[in-house]
Chains A and B, each alone.
Chain A
Amino acid sequence: MLRYTLNRVLQLIPTILGIYTLVFLLMRVLPGDPAQFLAGAHDDAQTIAALRASLHIDQPVWTQYVGFLSDMLHGNLGNSFITRRPVLDMIGLALPNTAVLAITAMLIAVGIGVPLGIIAATRRNSLWDTISRLIALIGVSIPVFWLGLQLQILFGLQLKLFPVSGLGFDNHLVLPAICASMGMLALIMRMTRSSLLDILNQDYIRTAYSKGLTARRVNVRHALSNAVLPIVTVWGTSVAGLLSGTLLVEVIFSWPGVGRQLVDAITQRDYPMVQGLVLLFALIYTLMNMLIDIAYPLLDPRIRYNG
């Protein structure tokens, strides 16, 4: 187990190097001289030279690649072109806001998705089953940004139940979190239902019933505990969707998180910010996948990894 975990952590190194290389290449396909472009008309030659030095673009590509990598490993992602503050500090300000939004959305998705899935599976073909399947279908088909606008119109403007936009860890959080949770909720519900249905047909479930156990006990102890693994898997894979979802939600609800920061940075052509944020998103996503891989054998003792 320890060896496997260690191995999995070491595998991160080539992946992160690859991510870095891709981002590096992405920033180099910019047409023209980035320094000239970034400096704008009003900057003098000295500023441009300084910009060029800070971007390492006055050096050969290979030196640029190593220089920027070493900067990055020292926690130096450069300065924002707009605010002139370190990229890392800027991200540090926005990241907690995104984390709160994403975690709340995740709690809603799991808190509603799993119970709905259980109800749908144990009362197959009932009204509940139909309703939850409908939610699952719409959840993966609805554009997050449109859902956000509709929630704003209905609950914010018409019913005046919640604030339409803005940051706040109170009722400001309700609409954005519901909106961001939708896709994940649909996937988790669907997976809970289908994996429970598979398991309820297994021999050991019949055995459990024939021992005289109550339906509730069979469902929880025998069925649900075995359905945890696929649910965790789909939860992990939908984190990417959640990251993209929170980005759109942050834009709609004026939530000052890293997603909105990325969109702003792109429209303002603030390339160091774009670079830093794309690296951050890829890192979060890669780390999530690693944690899920490591969690597998802990959740299901039948899975053994050798080396």
Chain B
Amino acid sequence: MADVSLPTQNVAAIEVQRETSGWRRALRRILGSPTTVIGLLLVGFAIALAILAPMISPYDPIFGNLTDHLQAPSAVHAFGTDEIGRDILSRVIYGSQISLQIALSVQMITLAVGLVLGLVSGYYGGWVDVIIMRIADIVMSFPLLIIAIALVGVLGSTEINIIVALALVSWPYVTRLTRSQVLSLKEQEYVTAARSLGASNAVIMFRHILPNLLTPVVVYVTLSIGGVILSEAALSFLGLGSGDQSQPSWGKMLNEAKAYIRSAWWMPFFPGMAIMLTVLGFNLLGDGLRDALDVRSQ
């Protein structure tokens, strides 16, 4: 009996497989993995904080009440107050803005520069390739944070300079990844077909090759957001963050908290937790995307 029903079962199985291929299968894998969902929730939470900050902050993040300085967490101030009486919960909520803003800007620039240089380098080869990849090698021979510190130190601590410095040290990784993908993709038959149809180099690169290498690159960029957030926080912690006092940042809060670790444990505790949970969220999400989209680690 079982033997008779087997073919139909197989057909059904194939149907199910076909129906759930591609993006749907990826989505199911993302939602099916608890760690990825946790990552997604953490990232979503951080983004929601940044957007809703003015609405949900219980206090003003910049002006404090001096009489309330250095208060331990309580019902009035859930995360306590700092040395000049500012509410730490409100500052942590607002701090998500600058972290995400810088991290996303850096990744956008890195992505754009890395993709274009990687495409050009891999597609044309020759001396263009040699020059781009030599420069990439040299930039990669500096420890990332060290050169970022030196750049921001020399250029000056503004938000733009921090973004430029972090993007300047991150593009080679995306360029390298893109280039390695182009090298294998440009030998594919559909590229030859496009060329024989008279497509220009730009059309082949951006219309035919680019969409096929986007997945691993996007996974890489997601996985490295956490690192950018940590680098930005490290710069601010070292006193090299944006000097704009109207914008609280987690790294800057930790820098200010250094002097109060003997008396106010809550001052460094909460901003640090915020950094860790946000970075953890992006790392979990990146790991999940990589598994769901079946990207082999490069």
Give the B-binding residues of A (Cβ under 8 A): 14-15, 18-19, 21-22, 26-27, 29-30, 137-138, 140-146, 149-150, 152-153, 157, 240-241, 243-244, 247-248, 251-252, 262-263, 266-267, 271, 274, 278, 281-282, 285-286, 289
Contacts and interface: CB of A to CB of B under 8 A. Distances in A.
B138 A22 contact: yes
Contacts of A146: 254, 268, 271-272, 275-276
A178 B185 CA distance: 45
Interface in B229-281: 230, 233-234, 237-240, 254, 257-258, 261-262, 265, 268-269, 271-272, 275-276, 279-280
B196 interface: no
A271 B153 CA distance: 10
Contact of B141 (A15, A26, A153): A15
Interface stretch (B74-82, B117-125, B143-151): B143-151
A145 B280 contact: no
A263 B145 CA distance: 12
Given A240-B143, A266-B154, 12 more contacts: A19-B138, A26-B150, A29-B154, A138-B276, A141-B280, A145-B233, A146-B276, A149-B261, A152-B261, A247-B149, A274-B153, A285-B142
| Chain B interface, DSSP helix/strand/loop, else mixed | helix
B230 A281 contact: no
Q: Chain A at the B interface: mostly helix, strand, loop or mixed?
A: helix
A286 B153 CA distance: 23
Interface string B151-173: 10111000000000000000000
Contacts of B141: 15, 18-19, 282, 285-286, 289
Contacts of A140: 226, 283
A143 B149 contact: no
B143 A149 contact: no
A146 B8 CA distance: 59
A263 B238 contact: yes
A149 B237 CA distance: 12
B166 to A, nearest CB: 13
Interface string B101-144: 00000000000000000000000000000000011011101111
B263 to A, nearest CB: 10
Given A19-B138, A278-B150, A244 B283 contact: no
B268 A150 contact: yes
Q: Which of A19, A140, A263, A278 has the most CB of B within 10 A?
A: A278
A19 to B, nearest CB: 6
B284 interface: yes
A145 B237 contact: yes
Nearest to B233: A143
B146 A278 contact: yes
30 contacts: A14-B134, A15-B141, A18-B138, A22-B138, A27-B154, A140-B283, A141-B226, A142-B276, A143-B237, A143-B275, A144-B234, A146-B254, A146-B271, A146-B272, A149-B254, A149-B268, A150-B269, A153-B261, A153-B268, A241-B143, A247-B149, A248-B234, A248-B238, A252-B258, A262-B146, A263-B238, A266-B153, A266-B154, A278-B142, A278-B146
- With most chain B CB atoms within 10 A of its CB, the pick from A14, A138, A244 is A244
Nearest to A14: B134
B279 A141 contact: yes
A67 B233 CA distance: 38
A1 B60 CA distance: 66
Nearest to B230: A143
Nearest to B271: A146
A29 B153 CA distance: 12
Contact of B272 (A150, A271, A274, A282): A150
Contacts of B258: 149, 252
B158 to A, nearest CB: 13
A146 B252 CA distance: 12
Contacts of B139: 22
A143 B276 contact: yes
Contacts of B138: 15, 18-19, 21-22
A31 B151 CA distance: 13
A140 B286 CA distance: 13
The 4 A-B pairs with the shortest beta carbon distances in the complex, nearest first, are A146-B272, A266-B153, A18-B138, A244-B145
Nearest to A145: B237
Contacts of B262: 157
B233 to A, nearest CB: 6
B53 to A, nearest CB: 21
A293 to B, nearest CB: 13
Given A149-B258, A266-B153, A247 B145 contact: yes
A289 B137 CA distance: 12
Given A240-B143, A247-B145, A247-B146, A137 B284 contact: yes
A153 B265 contact: yes
Contacts of B276: 138, 141-143, 146
B146 A251 contact: no
Nearest to B141: A286
